[in-house]
Amino acid sequence: MDPGEPLLSVVNIVKRFGGVTAVNRVSFDVRAGEVFCLVGPNGAGKTTTLRIIAGLIEPDEGYVVFEGRRQPWGPDVRRLIAYIPEDAGVYRNLTGFEYLEIMARLYLGERWEDAVRRAAEISGLGVRLRDKIGGYSRGMKRRLLLAGALMINPRLLVLDEPTAGLDVTHATAMRRMILDYVRGSGAAAVVSSHNMLEVSYMCDRVSLINRGVIVESGHPRELLERYRVENLEEVFVRVTGGGL
Amino acid sequence: MRRLYVLAVKEVKELIRDRYVLFSVILAPLLVLPLLLGVSYLAVREAGGALEKAIRELPGNVAVVLEDPGDEMALEVARRLGARVEASVEEAIARYPAVVVLHSNFTKNILEGKPATVTITSRVERPYSLVEVAVVTFLAQGLRDVVSIVLMERFNVDPRLIRTPVIVESKVLYKGELLEGSRLAQLYILNMGLAFIIFILGVIALQVGTLSMGIERESRTLELLLMLPISRVELIAGKVLGVSTISLMGFASFLVGLSITILLAPVLFAEGFEGIQQPQTTMQWSPIGLIEAFRTTSVTSVVAVVASIAVAMISTTIVGILVGVLLAGDIRGALVSGSYVALILAIPLMVEMMGLSLPTPLQIAFITSPMYPPFKTAQMIVFGETGLATAYAIATLINVTMLLAITVLMVKSERLIYGIRLRKPRVET
């Protein structure tokens, strides 16, 4: 892959469900070391776009290229992508350690032990990792899932609403984990969010999506300047005319 | 009243539109019993017809060998049986399905209060068939009745005064080998045991397979699973392996429970039910009897039985996973729909457990049941019907291949995430 080429390219993807077009000609590039955010209200097409990027569903039109390879990807490429859905659940009867071990063995084979140690440290869950995940709070579950995703050293992180429903402490910890990883590893992250504060805090570039269509893109600060407003929410209202 | 009506309408609409409710509350209960009744009726009707015909033709189909050709009562019994008198068993059995040997001192023994002895040698083709086993049993009982009638009519002796007028020893000629009558019971039990094992294990495997999908859906772990860097075939294989382990544990647990029950029942009911003695039958079975029956079969048969059990369990697990994909939105849906589907698919096994066979059209219809063709393959190998065994083995192979192909197609991310919907897909963006 050329060093100047984007790590991920989403090209004109379209996804329809029955008569409804959930994603309509969405295109964007993401470069290594970058956190790219898809911002929009509920039902805007964020989850469908991320599922297409993760390779879980196929677009009706368009395509996705990752590290110069076009979908569909085999296990060798999927191994480089970590996806955490918004409503991702956990195996309630496994302990945190058991979950990390299973994931590490599946992704890394023989080199699993170091990864689990690293994930245990990243998660910050300490001795609670010995408990069954069923007894964890929502924030703990999300931290475990993220630690499990990061321990495999993915080249691309696909995170759907990573901090939705979390309190300030857990949300801050999650954002720090994501940023530290992307900056430190040179990987990229595609993050969906409807939390404009979160977007300002962690996104290098942002695309606003509404009714399946990308309506505006740019650096958060650049967008604020372009529309001469105080925050991204106002940008969104200006771009969409306030309607959903 | 109006509010009550609105609430009731909400309840009905919400429930009736649920795929799980539609299947497990409306469709499955509507199907299960009529289907079981219909299949059993057809199987029993066919077996009944065959049994009636065999019994009707029995008098002309029995030969009698008299050890003492001058024995008065033996001659009378032979006459009443409507049987032809032949010189030797070896010659007669080649031409008649059953040969009755009335041993010497027949009259003398009975009149002295000692039991007379009779040996019935029956030619058996299918020891797993209730019809053939019933004919052998019927002949033995019929012979006892004839002796009683002769005692009363010709010798004016009340047979009730003689404790055991006649001892009937049954022998079976099966595949050119002369076996003891008890061996026939053992072979019959072997068939019943095989059907029983596949039935129980199949029901457990199907339920666990469905449940595993229900748990994945309810826990929302499917997407994590689908993201793993493994192929869909590996994913299914891993699930099947895990589910099979749990199913085997479930089956072992069931066997332990069954053994405890069988061991305790005679102790608890030693004096019968409220003093009523249960009649003794030769067809009672126990795990030890079953092990003994398996032990005495050939190595090929044992291998066939083990392989068929494994294939049945794996195919049933795959069907369970498929049912889970189709019907299980959560754990409760998985449990109920899994149980009903297992019951429907196990109907032919229930029929086989009774020693009955499905009429041919139903055999073809149930060829898609994951439990039936593997069972039939093992059954035919155990009972030496090579041609049919091959046919059923091919059917099993086609079945498993089709199942795997369907599962790989069905276990597609999109279907698993959005589910397979009866109505227009819900948009989840």
Give me the number of domains chain A comprises. Answer: 1
Assess whether B144 and B109 both reside in one domain.
yes
CA-based nearest distance B426→chain A, Å: 8
Confidence of residue B279 (pLDDT cuts 50, 70, 90): very low
Query: What pLDDT is recorded for position B320?
Result: 92
Q: Which of B225, B235, B429 is the best residue to mutate to test the A interface, defined by the most A CB atoms within 10 Å of its own CB?
A: B429
**Residue A2 covered by a domain:** no
CA-based nearest distance A228→chain B, Å: 30
Confidence of residue B424 (pLDDT cuts 50, 70, 90): very low
**Residue B4 covered by a domain:** no
Please give the C-alpha separations between residue B142 and each of B138, B149, B340, in angstroms, as whole numbers: 6, 11, 43
**Residue A103 covered by a domain:** yes
Assess whether B347 and B381 both reside in one domain.
yes
Contacts of B417 in chain A (CB under 8 A): 51, 56-57
**Residue B271 covered by a domain:** no
Name the token pair of A240: 């969409």
Contacts of A92 in chain B (CB under 8 A): 219
ipTM > 0.95, yes or no: no
CA dihedral A37, A55, B418, A240 (to 10 degrees): 30
Summary mean pLDDT of chain B: 83
Contacts of A101 (CB under 8 A, 6+ apart): A112, A116
Confidence of residue A97 (pLDDT cuts 50, 70, 90): very high
Q: Hey, which bits of chain A come out as E strands?
A: 8-17, 20-30, 35-39, 61-66, 69-70, 81-84, 156-160, 188-193, 205-210, 213-218
User: Is A81 close to B227, i.e. CB distance below 8 A?
Assistant: yes
**Residue B192 covered by a domain:** yes
Residue A50 has pLDDT above 90, yes or no: yes
Confidence of residue A243 (pLDDT cuts 50, 70, 90): low
Residue B96 three-state SS: coil
**Residue A186 covered by a domain:** yes
Assess whether B330 and B290 both reside in one domain.
yes
Backbone angles phi, psi at B129, to 5 degrees: -90, 125
Residues of B with CB under 8 A from a CB of A: 218-221, 223-224, 226-231, 413-414, 417, 424-429
User: Is A90 close to B219, i.e. CB distance below 8 A?
Assistant: yes
Query: What pLDDT is recorded for position B280?
Result: 44
pLDDT above 90 as % of chain A: 54
Contacts of B57 (CB under 8 A, 6+ apart): none
Domain that holds residue A155: 8-240
Q: How far apart are CA A211 and CA B50, in angstroms?
A: 71
Residue B159 has pLDDT above 90, yes or no: no
pLDDT digits (tens, 9 = 90+) for B47-88: 888 888 888 887 778 888 988 888 888 888 888 888 888 888
Q: Is B6 exposed, middle or buried, given 0-12, 13-18 or 19+ CB atoms closer than 10 A?
A: exposed
Give me the number of domains chain B comprises. Answer: 2
Assess whether B137 and B258 both reside in one domain.
no
Q: How far apart are CA B99 and CA B64, in angstroms?
A: 6
For the domain that residue B153 is a member of, what is the CATH number?
3.40.1710.10
Span A4-30, mean pLDDT? 91
User: Which candidate, B373, B357, B404, places its Cα nearest to that of B308?
Assistant: B373
Of the residues B126, B145, B174, the one at which a domain ends: B174
CA-based nearest distance A60→chain B, Å: 12
User: Is B429 close to A78, i.e. CB distance below 8 A?
Assistant: no
Contacts of B329 in chain A (CB under 8 A): none
Backbone angles phi, psi at A33, to 5 degrees: 80, 10
Assess whether B22 and B105 both reside in one domain.
no
Nearest CA in chain A to B411: A56
User: Is B223 close to A56, i.e. CB distance below 8 A?
Assistant: yes
User: Which candidate, B69, B108, B105, places its Cα nearest to that of B86?
Assistant: B69
Backbone angles phi, psi at B200, to 5 degrees: -65, -50
**Residue A1 covered by a domain:** no
**Residue B180 covered by a domain:** no
**Residue A146 covered by a domain:** yes
* A75 vs B221, B229, B424: nearest CB: B229
User: Which candidate, B381, B335, B114, B83, places its Cα nearest to that of B217?
Assistant: B335
Assess whether B116 and B233 both reside in one domain.
no
* B417 vs A56, A78, A90: nearest CB: A56
Region of poorest pLDDT, from B86-95, B113-122, B158-167, B297-306: B158-167
User: Is A56 close to B227, i.e. CB distance below 8 A?
Assistant: yes
pLDDT digits (tens, 9 = 90+) for B5-47: 888 888 888 888 777 777 777 888 888 888 888 988 898 888 8
By residue count, chain B amounts to 429
For the domain that residue A147 is a member of, what is the CATH number?
3.40.50.300
Of the residues B174, B196, B220, the one at which a domain ends: B174
Assess whether B89 and B148 both reside in one domain.
yes
pLDDT digits (tens, 9 = 90+) for B36-49: 889 888 988 888 88
Q: Which amino acid is at A42?
A: N
Assess whether B209 and B309 both reside in one domain.
yes
Element (H, E) at B100: strand B98-102
Assess whether B96 and B236 both reside in one domain.
no
* B229 vs A23, A51, A78: nearest CB: A78
Q: Which of B227, B330, B424 is the best residue to mutate to test the A interface, defined by the most A CB atoms within 10 Å of its own CB?
A: B227
User: Is A78 close to B228, i.e. CB distance below 8 A?
Assistant: yes
Residues B86-93: contacts with CB within 8 Å, 24+ apart? B89/B65, B89/B121, B92/B63, B92/B65, B93/B63, B93/B121, B93/B123, B93/B173
Contacts of A222 (CB under 8 A, 6+ apart): none
Residue listed under structure tokens 């869909």: B232
**Residue B1 covered by a domain:** no
Nearest CA in chain A to B230: A75
Name the token pair of B399: 């079945």
User: Is A17 close to B427, i.e. CB distance below 8 A?
Assistant: yes
Query: What pLDDT is recorded for position B204?
Result: 93
**Residue B384 covered by a domain:** yes
Assess whether B67 and B215 both reside in one domain.
no
Of the residues B148, B174, B200, the one at which a domain ends: B174
Contacts of B425 in chain A (CB under 8 A): 17-18
Contacts of B227 in chain A (CB under 8 A): 54-56, 78, 81-83
Residue A152 has pLDDT above 80, yes or no: yes
CA-based nearest distance A153→chain B, Å: 13
**Residue A136 covered by a domain:** yes
Contacts of A87 in chain B (CB under 8 A): 220
Assess whether B93 and B165 both reside in one domain.
yes
**Residue B336 covered by a domain:** yes
HSE, CB side, 13 Å, CA atoms: give it for residue B68. Answer: 17
Nearest CA in chain B to A107: B229
Q: How far apart are CA B120 and CA B136, in angstroms?
A: 8
**Residue A63 covered by a domain:** yes
Nearest CA in chain B to A134: B219
Strands of the sheet with A205-210, listed across from one edge: A81-84, A156-160, A188-193, A35-39, A205-210, A213-218
**Residue B427 covered by a domain:** no
**Residue A159 covered by a domain:** yes
* B429 vs A18, A45, A85: nearest CB: A45
* A75 vs B231, B413, B425: nearest CB: B231
Domain that holds residue B161: 58-174
